[in-house]
Amino acid sequence: MPKNILSVENLNGGYEVFVGRRRVFVHAVDDVTFSLHNNEVLGVAGESGCGKSTLAKMIYGAIIPPLLVKGGSISITTKGGEVLNINKLSIDEVRRKIWWIEISYIPQNSMNVLNPLKRIKDQFIDVFRYHGIKMDKTETVEHLRDTLTTLGLPPEVINAYPHQLSGGMRQRVVIALSLVFNPRIILADEPTTAVDVVTQRTILSLLKEWRENNKSSLVLISHDMSVHAYMDDRIAIMYAGNVVELGSSLDIFKEPLHPYTRALIESLIRKGDKSIRKGLAGQPPDLINPPPGCRFHPRCPYVMNICRSEEPVTTFLDNDRYVRCWLYTSSR
């Protein structure tokens, strides 16, 4: 059995916001359960607005209003073997015990998070200081050079300002910053959407290699199924806040079960196939008032009566594969 380093159980949450003068709740993550194994890539796939980034923020412990966790748990086994319930920690505890050291987060459009007024070297040194890590300056610079070189960057980058680097280089610098303390878990939220296809493949390959060498686990969030096909060991498919299917990458691409997963895979462009790809009609639902029953039912070609009124139960095919759809439930 693979060892789990992170467990998410029945997680519920979202954003409390005002629409006009009315306080409403956006149900961005609904009853999500999965585990992250040691030394694996777990992809989280789905269209924009299906809750992927919110789930990443919750796992990272960045649970700051208007983001709220309403139920469930997120627990991590730390490098020292301590089990911490992330959603029960204060934000100060999360900063001290989790961020960068246990879990690093590469946010969307992360190349823009660099301070334009500071050299790359000084931005790294700030991170070391923030965590109270005492290394002498020469040692720090050596460590930084090594990390940057691992990500295919020339060592001179250390003295550059962000505007002197291309978008792809800035993206790699941010990834290097996230890896500098050798975290056990890397959360990468659309890490390559802002770069061209060639740079995307280079960055993904470097991230893959670094993760394998350092035996970390990667949670890779992307709407792009071709990225998942290249990177993932397992995939969780999210729709409207629910994980609707989870399984090994091989199984999911070979035999997708949930109608939404099938639609995502059918929309992939395949080498040599010139047929017009079928897109999925309609839009993900409004998460303030999600549809009753199965949240996918207004778009599902297999919809049945029960789907319109009752939430599907999760059917486990084995320990590591489940689907949430009435088509696979014998008791319907």
Q: Can residue 107 be called a binding residue for ligand SF4 (CB under 6 A)?
A: no
Q: Rule CB under 6 A: choose which of 145, 303, 315, 321 binds ligand SF4.
A: 303
Strand locations in 181-313 (E):
185-189, 217-222, 234-239, 242-248
Task: In angstroms, give the least distance from the CB of 68 to ligand SF4.
Answer: 27
Q: Can residue 241 be called a binding residue for ligand SF4 (CB under 6 A)?
A: no
Sort residue 20 into left (φ over 0), alpha (ψ -120 to 50) or beta. left
Task: Tell me if 224 sits within 8 A of 47, measured CB to CB.
Answer: no
* C-alpha pair distances (Å), 119 with each of 9, 36, 177: 42, 36, 13
Task: In angstroms, give the least distance from the CB of 12 to ligand SF4.
Answer: 19
Q: Which of positions 157-176 make contact with ligand SF4 (CB under 6 A)?
A: none
Residue corresponding to tokens 């159980």? 9
| Greatest Cα pair distance in the chain | 68
Q: Can residue 113 be called a binding residue for ligand SF4 (CB under 6 A)?
A: no
Task: Tell me if 300 sits within 8 A of 308, measured CB to CB.
Answer: no
Rounded Cα–Cα distance for residues 86 and 75 (Å): 6
Q: Rule CB under 6 A: choose which of 312, 315, 322, 330 binds ligand SF4.
A: 312
- Pick the piece of the chain touching ligand SF4 (CB under 6 A) from 53-61, 192-200, 282-290, 324-332: 324-332
Residue corresponding to tokens 């280079």? 202
Q: Rule CB under 6 A: choose which of 302, 305, 313, 316 binds ligand SF4.
A: 302
* C-alpha pair distances (Å), 90 with each of 62, 64, 106, 186: 10, 10, 21, 21
Q: Can residue 284 be called a binding residue for ligand SF4 (CB under 6 A)?
A: no
Bridge partners of 246, per DSSP, are 236, 322
Q: Which long-range contacts (CB under 8 A, 24 or more apart) does 263-267 make?
A: 264/45, 264/46, 264/225, 264/237, 265/225, 267/225
| Pick 72 or 259: Cβ nearer ligand SF4 | 259
Q: Can residue 297 be called a binding residue for ligand SF4 (CB under 6 A)?
A: yes
Task: In angstroms, give the least distance from the CB of 321 to ligand SF4.
Answer: 16
| Pick 153 or 307: Cβ nearer ligand SF4 | 307
Task: In angstroms, give the least distance from the CB of 298 to ligand SF4.
Answer: 8
Q: Rule CB under 6 A: choose which of 247, 259, 284, 285 binds ligand SF4.
A: 259
Q: Rule CB under 6 A: choose which of 8, 158, 227, 325 binds ligand SF4.
A: 325
Task: Tell me if 302 sits within 8 A of 327, measured CB to CB.
Answer: yes
- Pick the piece of the chain touching ligand SF4 (CB under 6 A) from 85-93, 187-195, 269-277, 304-312: 304-312
Q: Rule CB under 6 A: choose which of 91, 117, 269, 304 binds ligand SF4.
A: 304
Rounded Cα–Cα distance for residues 242 and 195 (Å): 29
Across 188-221, b (16+ Cβ under 10 Å) vs e yields: bbbbbebbeeebbebbbebbeebbeeeebbbbbb
Task: In angstroms, give the least distance from the CB of 290 to ligand SF4.
Answer: 12
| Pick 91 or 304: Cβ nearer ligand SF4 | 304
| Pick 49 or 312: Cβ nearer ligand SF4 | 312
Q: Applying CB under 6 A, what is the total number of residues that bind ligand SF4? A: 14
CA–chain centroid gap for 230, Å, is 15
- Provide the mask over 27-66, with x wherever binding to ligand SF4 is found by CB under 6 A and - wherever it is not: ----------------------------------------
Residues that bind ligand SF4 (CB under 6 A): 258-259, 294, 296-297, 300, 302-304, 307, 312, 325-327
